[in-house]
Amino acid sequence: MTHSLLRRTLLATASAIVLMGALLLYPQQAQAQNKVLLRVSTPAVPDDWHAKMWTVFKDNLEKSAPGEFDVQINLNATLFKQGTEPTAMARGNLELSSISAFDIAKLVPEFSIFTAGYVITGPEHQQKVFNGPIGAEMFKAVAEKMDVTPLSTVYLGTRQINLRDPRNVKVPADLKGIKLRMPSSKEWLFLGEALGATATPLAFGEVYLGLKTGTIDGQDNPLPSVRAAKFYEVTKQIVLTSHLVDGIFIAISSKALNAMTPVQQQKVKAAAQAASGYNNENRLKEEGQLVDFFKQQGLQVTTPDVDAFRKSVQTTYQNSDYAKVWPKGLLERINATK
Ligand code: KDO
């Protein structure tokens, strides 16, 4: 053996010994490096069910695959701005989020059928549609066009209108001139306009202040989110329009999913199901109890002519460009799903 070869062999042996020593001394750090990183980003506030469900997701994975995953939960849109999550996931900068039909419709236009008011009729209908053949077809298109894979359907709740100042609202015309905050995309703004209001874009995190200062006259959200984000502190009325049975989808970057073993993929899917199950059960229960809570807080809770809202919103969508890209017969199939 030449002198230099001997030196290199000795050096390699020494580094191997140092590495083995480090692994023995710091097994946790070594393990952390091998863990599958799952970063979660959501605009949800900590006290909302679809924020808490991520802890269920994390705990479920920790039980089924101890030490295999490093789940990092980021709430309040601190990691990615609301609505930018799908792009971040497709680029590999984010692994998980809960994405809305509105986010999806930007890239999968036919998905806009689920952004239309009064299409899905209730939480059960929602689960049946998305857990059946329609969901399978639509999710396939999502995976193909967006590089993200939906894992489960989360009931966000039924959206209601929430106003800063009380107003007699019976039909859409009664919302004329109302600056109704909607999330920032044209699909959301269209829904606000279809309700008869002047839709004003604003991120979820800015709504409380907007209501407080009066830069907006109202907002729409499901009742559990009105409670969790404390919008009832800065508003005086809830109008029960029930205009959108809203769903979000726990989705994972396809790149991240494909890098896992089949067993890990199954465990991640099961954890997503457990998380949405937890949300759906608790949110539904709470949604049924909140009218009393808001009344106790001094808010007026009123019921408009929901049929008038339904007719007007449905006609607006049917006559829009959105309906032109809905696959033939899809609306009828959704309506027939029981
Ligand atoms: C909202 O901004 O009004 C909305 O309800 C839209 C949903 O798609 C979802 O992003 C939700 O906010 C956030 O998760 C905060 O609850």
- pLDDT, average across residues 91-95: 97
How many distinct structural domains can be found in the chain? 1
Which tokens go with 291? 């009218």
Mean pLDDT value across residues 92-102? 98
Instruction: Give CA separation, 160 vs 54, 57, 199, 307, in Å.
Output: 25, 28, 15, 15
| Ligand 1 atom 8, closest CA | 100
User: Is the CB of 271 inside a 6 Å radius of any atom of ligand 1?
Assistant: no
Q: Which domain holds residue 170?
A: 35-336
Look at residue 177 and give its three-state secondary structure. coil
Q: How far is the CA of 184 from the centre of ligand 1 (A)?
A: 11
Looking at the whole model, is its pTM more than 0.95? no
Atom of ligand 1 at shortest range from CA of 103: 8
127 lines ligand 1 (CB under 6 A): no
d(Cα 248, Cα 107) in Å, to the nearest integer? 16
Burial bucket for residue 283 (CB in 10 Å: 0-12, 13-18, 19+): buried
- Whichever domain contains 120, its CATH number is 3.40.190.170
- What mean pLDDT is predicted for residues 63-79? 98
Pocket of ligand 1 contains residue 82 by CB under 6 Å: yes
- Given a cut of 90, whether residue 14 has pLDDT beyond it is no
Q: What are phi and psi of 242, to 5 degrees?
A: 45, 45
Query: Which tens digit of pLDDT belongs to each residue from 291-310?
Result: 999 999 999 999 999 999 99
In a domain, 200, yes or no: yes
Whether 22 maps to a domain, the answer reads no
Q: Decide if 19 is inside a domain.
A: no
Is 3 inside a domain boundary?
Answer: no
Q: In this structure, is residue 21 part of a structural domain? A: no
- What's the pLDDT band for 7 if we cut at 50, 70, 90? low
- Distance (angstroms) between ligand 1 centre and the Cα of 14 equals 55
pLDDT of amino acid 3: 54
Pick the range with the lowest mean pLDDT from 23-32, 130-139, 169-178: 23-32
The CA 101 to ligand 1 mean position distance, Å, reads 11
Asked whether residue 209 is assigned to any structural domain, the reply reads yes
pLDDT reading at 28 higher than 80: no
- Residue 25 domain-assigned (yes or no): no
Helical pair 3-25 and 27-34, crossing angle rounded to 10 deg: 100
Please name the residues in contact with 118: beta carbons below 8 A apart, sequence gap of 6 or more: 243, 244, 309, 310, 313, 314
Residue 13 lies in a domain: no
* Burial of residue 201 (number of CB atoms within 10 Å: 0-12, 13-18, 19+): middle
